[in-house]
Chains A and B, each alone.
Chain A
Amino acid sequence: MTLLKHRLFWPVAALVTLVVVNVIANPNFAKVTMRDGDLYGNPVTILRESAPLMLVALGMTLVIATRGIDLSVGAVMAVSGAVSLTIIADSPDPGSLGTVTVAIVVAVLVALVLGAWNGFLVSVLGIQPIIATLVLMLAGRGVALLITGGAITTVTSAPYKFLSNGYLILLPVAFFIWVAVVAIVALVERRTALGMLTESVGINPEASRLAGVRSRGIILSAYMVSGLLAGVAGIINASNTMAADSNNAGYLIELYAILAVVLGGTSLMGGKFSIAGTVIGVLTVTTLDKTIQFFGVPPAQSPVFFAVVVVIVVLVQSPRVHAWGRAASARMRRTPSGGEPPTGPGAASAAKKREEVAA
């Protein structure tokens, strides 16, 4: 029962169910083969292809924890991919490690500046996050298109390609990148007070301010981290295709990232967040995407399935459905004492949500 109450129970259960369904439908799904000392197979592909979404969703988790949202991540990815590939394409020696390092550093710095811009609009000017980041979401892709001159820049550069397609010990580099980033973020947020302060700002900005929390800096830094991670995601994405496609790089990724965060059990109302939950959420989204392809559905049609997932997730979290569930279980138990206020963490959070909606 305590296991059932754990907040990661349902996200993990969803992921496990998905994997089990796949393995039953086709035992080859979980097959991993060893070739030249590297592992290949569907699970490895999922770990590798999760990288961009993982980084973006991680930044999104922090932003959502402050009661915000960052719609611009896809556009930031496009900009960072465009910046790095343009630098490499314009350099005399695209294959050298130095060029690639410069390209990556510049692209990440640009992404950091874009994140800081979002953070400035939200924390200093006090603009609603959805609208503040909408500006960059609109303008960002335009900027990326200008950087690449409206064309799709393609390059050949071995060190750059290594980021997404290379292997380190047994597993892909991209996998190690996201694991390292998750570890750093988890350490900084959970081993220092930063995570707690972020949650307090998200739960009640006014009370946190009165308690002496500098919410402005915390909100600003959340958007900067989101921008930075989106920049890295853009580089990995560009390295995967070795092309800067400003129109399609990171298209809809903000929405998939929000979905992954919500799947991981972090509420869009801000406050408590779960990094482990987001990791599971991202793996679920990527696995679902692979599953849909595995069943022979054209990738373009996969949004239908994600629409169903979004509807199910929001319905499960909805107070009205909770109330129905309680009513149903009460009827099953046939308790004579009707009208007793519901108890338990689920009921409390549902009641809290209702209050927030009413307020």
Chain B
Amino acid sequence: MTAVVTEAPKASSMDRMRTFAARRASVLPTLAAIAILIVLLAGAQVEFGNFLTPGNLSALLLDHAYLLVLAVGMTFVIVTGGIDLSVGSVMAFTGILGASMLASGIPVWIVVPVMLAGGAAIGTLIGVLVQYFNVQPFIASLAGLFLGRGLAYVVSLSSIRVENPPILWLQQTRFVMGSWYITPTGIIALIVVAIGAVVMALTRFGRTVYAIGGSEQSARLMGLSVARTKVLVYVISGLCGGLAGLLLTAYSGAGYPRYGIGTELDVIACVVIGGTLLTGGRGYVLGSMVGVFVFATITTIISFMGAEQAWTHIIVGALLLLFIVVQRAIVARSDRQT
């Protein structure tokens, strides 16, 4: 008893930090991502002097609105322990589909739901293959990747301009607050993030997603609806792909079958940098948003420097590696402690 009392004062801030780290290990990677984002932004401001301007930061969000939407969907999939390689080509497919339908005079209130449904349909295919036919997510979403990219070229081999006022309104309208501005595309992306974060954190469905990622077997034994949830996460990811197609079409004012080549990798990298564990069970939608901002900041810094854009992927690759190694260390430690 006395021993405990005498040792109590020794529970210094160091120990408290260690306790925090052990109990809240899943937040650490996201905190690290925030730290990196702050360092990047501060470093860029020091280097260029005109980086942290409202206009620049607004552009940072608006240029990557589609990536943000894709990252939200991908977070759901990765937290269940899956992966979705199809998002880039689904985005290209729904984008060109929408552009071509608009070009042939179909009203926008039909086109937009069709775009979303197209993305969700490919997501459903992947989910059913994964859940009911025991196909590895990697292979099932590979079929989705091929399908989306091929269908995009079936719709059109070249780009189609969009001149539909409601679609262009999404990008051209600017709500200005001082020097800050935001377009409807940016608002949509932020709403998607908010919905994603709430669903993940507060709903039964969201908690089931985490449970499946932690241990699918246990989730099933607990009586959670594993099958439905696992299909749904791919449907959500496909839906996000469709929405991203809409945002990208509005952003670029055209549909193009070559859009989004390699985007699936960028999205996965953003989600991992944002602190989601690729083995599943841990991760936050808001973390993925931080990951997208890290990616966006790196891209912007490189264009500020006037350097080759090729550096973006080298740096993102290096960051990805760093996070994977850090996550590996964290998981190894928390496994030892339990």
Query: In the complex, which of the residues A130, A255, A304 contacts B83, with contact meaning CB atoms closer than 8 Å?
Result: A130
Report if A262 contacts B (CB, 8 A). Answer: yes
A249 to chain B, nearest CB (A): 13
Tell whether, in the assembled complex, residue A320 and residue B134 are in contact, meaning their CB atoms are under 8 Å apart.
Answer: yes
Query: In the complex, which of the residues B150, B217, B314, B317 contacts A307, with contact meaning CB atoms closer than 8 Å?
Result: B150
Tell whether, in the assembled complex, residue B278 and residue A255 are in contact, meaning their CB atoms are under 8 Å apart.
Answer: no
Known A134-B268, A143-B314, A357-B134; contact A298-B324, beta-carbon cutoff 8 A: no
CA distance A320 to B128 in the complex (A): 12
- CB neighbours of A208 from chain B (8 A): none
B164 to chain A, nearest CB (A): 25
Tell whether, in the assembled complex, residue B311 and residue A142 are in contact, meaning their CB atoms are under 8 Å apart.
Answer: yes
- CB neighbours of A302 from chain B (8 A): 150
B279 to chain A, nearest CB (A): 7
Q: A132-B324, A139-B316, A142-B313 are in contact. List 9 more A-B contacts (CB 8 A).
A: A121-B321, A126-B328, A128-B279, A131-B278, A131-B324, A246-B310, A303-B146, A307-B143, A311-B143
Tell whether, in the assembled complex, residue B134 and residue A255 are in contact, meaning their CB atoms are under 8 Å apart.
Answer: no
A-B contact pairs, 12 of them (CB 8 A): A126-B328, A127-B325, A128-B279, A131-B278, A138-B266, A138-B320, A145-B308, A301-B150, A303-B145, A303-B149, A306-B150, A310-B142
- CB neighbours of B312 from chain A (8 A): 142
CA distance A128 to B311 in the complex (A): 25
Tell whether, in the assembled complex, residue A298 and residue B317 are in contact, meaning their CB atoms are under 8 Å apart.
Answer: no
- CB neighbours of A136 from chain B (8 A): 317
Closest A residue, CB atoms, query B145: A255
Report if B121 contacts A (CB, 8 A). Answer: no
Report if A331 contacts B (CB, 8 A). Answer: no
Query: In the complex, which of the residues B144, B154, B317, B318 contacts A301, with contact meaning CB atoms closer than 8 Å?
Result: B154
Known A145-B308, A321-B133; contact A138-B313, beta-carbon cutoff 8 A: yes
Scan residues 198-236 of chain B and give those whose CB is less than 8 A from a CB of chain A: 217
- CB neighbours of B129 from chain A (8 A): 311, 314-315
Report if A354 contacts B (CB, 8 A). Answer: yes
- CB neighbours of A134 from chain B (8 A): 265, 268-269, 320
Tell whether, in the assembled complex, residue A258 and residue B317 are in contact, meaning their CB atoms are under 8 Å apart.
Answer: no
A9-37 near B? 1/0 per residue, CB < 8 Å: 00000000000000000000000000000
- CB neighbours of A315 from chain B (8 A): 129, 133
Tell whether, in the assembled complex, residue B278 and residue A304 are in contact, meaning their CB atoms are under 8 Å apart.
Answer: no
Report if B109 contacts A (CB, 8 A). Answer: no
Closest B residue, CB atoms, query A130: B138
Report if A318 contacts B (CB, 8 A). Answer: yes
Report if A69 contacts B (CB, 8 A). Answer: yes
Report if B135 contacts A (CB, 8 A). Answer: yes
- CB neighbours of A69 from chain B (8 A): 138
B151 to chain A, nearest CB (A): 6
Give the total number of A-B pairs whose CB atoms are below 8 A apart. Answer: 130
- CB neighbours of A290 from chain B (8 A): none
Known A128-B278, A146-B311, A314-B129; contact A138-B316, beta-carbon cutoff 8 A: yes
Total B residues in contact with A, Cβ cutoff 8 Å? 48
Report if A358 contacts B (CB, 8 A). Answer: yes
Most chain B CB atoms below 10 A, which of A141, A258, A303, A321: A303
Scan residues 270-329 of chain A and give those whose CB is less than 8 A from a CB of chain B: 298, 300-307, 310-311, 314-315, 318-321
CA distance A268 to B136 in the complex (A): 9
Closest A residue, CB atoms, query B135: A314
Query: In the complex, which of the residues B134, B217, B269, B313 contacts A353, with contact meaning CB atoms closer than 8 Å?
Result: B134
Known A130-B83, A318-B133; contact A310-B313, beta-carbon cutoff 8 A: no
Report if B272 contacts A (CB, 8 A). Answer: yes
CA distance A320 to B261 in the complex (A): 33
Report if B140 contacts A (CB, 8 A). Answer: yes
Report if B139 contacts A (CB, 8 A). Answer: yes
A63 to chain B, nearest CB (A): 14
CA distance A309 to B312 in the complex (A): 35
- Which 6 A-B residue pairings sit nearest by Cβ, starting from the closest? A139-B317, A304-B150, A303-B150, A145-B310, A307-B147, A142-B313
B240-271 near A? 1/0 per residue, CB < 8 Å: 00000000000000000100011001101100
Report if B181 contacts A (CB, 8 A). Answer: no
Report if B21 contacts A (CB, 8 A). Answer: no
CA distance A194 to B144 in the complex (A): 36
B26 to chain A, nearest CB (A): 18
- CB neighbours of B157 from chain A (8 A): 298, 300
Scan residues 208-264 of chain A and give those whose CB is less than 8 A from a CB of chain B: 246, 251, 255, 258-259, 262
- CB neighbours of B83 from chain A (8 A): 130
Most chain B CB atoms below 10 A, which of A130, A142, A255: A142
